[in-house]
Amino acid sequence: MKLDSTVAIVDLYRRLGGEKYSEAISQTEHAVQCAWLAEKEGAASHLVLAALLHDIGHLVDLEMHDGRIVLDHDTRHEATGGNCLSGIYPARVRNPIVLHVEAKRWLCARRDGYMDGLSPASVHSLGLQGGPMSGPEADRFESMPGFADAIALRLWDDLGKDGTRGGDIDDLENLLLRHSAAVTTG
């Protein structure tokens, strides 16, 4: 499934963004909170958009599975997310989205204590996603051009789960339109 406009993105979140990301928050709240964290750190617009849309693959998966959440295997939502946005955004927006699961695997391998802070859901999905990277995998990942953006996105992903902060569809639309205008397609 490919999305062809920011209108289609907002429409997808309007329909399915109310689905739970966790017990505490919805997909829309998680998306908005991650983008707010990126803005707070002064991230460039392409990276704020990546933070906002990094889990859009979960919504596409829900749409494809009639609203059922798939928990027993890895749906590769990061690849689905990057792919569904390929007609709208350039690679610098899509790459951190595609790499945010690998970034988790890298952080588990190379950052002391990182794994201890993961939510139970993240630990569960880590197992399905291949577990922490091996040494050679981690070395290779670090040498990729998109490494820094992918790690930055992953750390916001881990923090954007605050049940008291909110974030609604209007916030999502505002962030999306403002930062999309600053990112040229190509």
Interface residues toward Fe ion, by CB under 5 A: 55, 157
**Whole-number minimum distance, CB 79 to Fe ion, in Å?**
15
In this complex, which beta carbon is closest to Fe ion, that of residue 39 or of residue 157? 157
In this complex, which beta carbon is closest to Fe ion, that of residue 27 or of residue 180? 27
In this complex, which beta carbon is closest to Fe ion, that of residue 26 or of residue 45? 26
In this complex, which beta carbon is closest to Fe ion, that of residue 70 or of residue 181? 70
**Whole-number minimum distance, CB 81 to Fe ion, in Å?**
10
**Whole-number minimum distance, CB 136 to Fe ion, in Å?**
27
Burial readout 142-179 (b: 16 or more C-beta within 10 A, e: otherwise):
eeeebbebbbbbbbbbbebbeeeeebebebbbebbeeb
Cα distance between residue 123 and residue 128, in whole Å: 9
The residue of the chain with the least Cβ separation from Fe ion equals 157
**Whole-number minimum distance, CB 134 to Fe ion, in Å?**
24
Alpha carbon distances (Å) from 13 to 26, 56, 108, 142, 170: 10, 8, 30, 33, 10
Cα distance between residue 156 and residue 42, in whole Å: 13
